[in-house]
Amino acid sequence: MVKRPLRTKSIATSVTEEEYAELECIAQTERKTLDEWCREVMLASVNGSRPKGKPYSGLELRALMAELVALRIILLNVLYKHANGEILTAEEMQRLIERADSDKVKKAAERLRNGSKSSLS
């Protein structure tokens, strides 16, 4: 069994009664002590990741959807040209990437808005 390094340093901060109650409630829902929960959230923030079991934020989901939309646009256009025996030049590919990047946020927002009404196609 691997021994974890001893935790010898501490961090303190002041919060209002209301903030404390909110933090404590979240920690309890995740079945952790407030100390454990705070440590996990702080370290995840430093490491650029999410705490375990934490869902993506709306902003993260929109960014992921935008990238997926751009990739889909590029892939479908490349496959279409390939299926028709056409060769894609470097300039055409660059224009395709630029067009996909310029439209991705708008198209992702539309798909997320309509997501509950229809499946993503």
Conformation bin of residue 48: beta by default, left when phi > 0, alpha when psi is -120 to 50? left
Q: Return the closest-CA partner of residue 68 out of 8, 121, 7, 2.
A: 121
pLDDT (0 to 100) of residue 119: 44
Checking if the pLDDT of 120 tops 90, the result is no
Residue 105: what pLDDT? 85
Take residue 68 and report the two structure tokens written for it.
């997926």
pLDDT at residue 44, rounded to an integer: 81
pLDDT for position 75: 95
**pLDDT grade for 121, boundaries at 50, 70 and 90:** very low
Most confident residue range from 2-11, 40-49, 57-66: 2-11
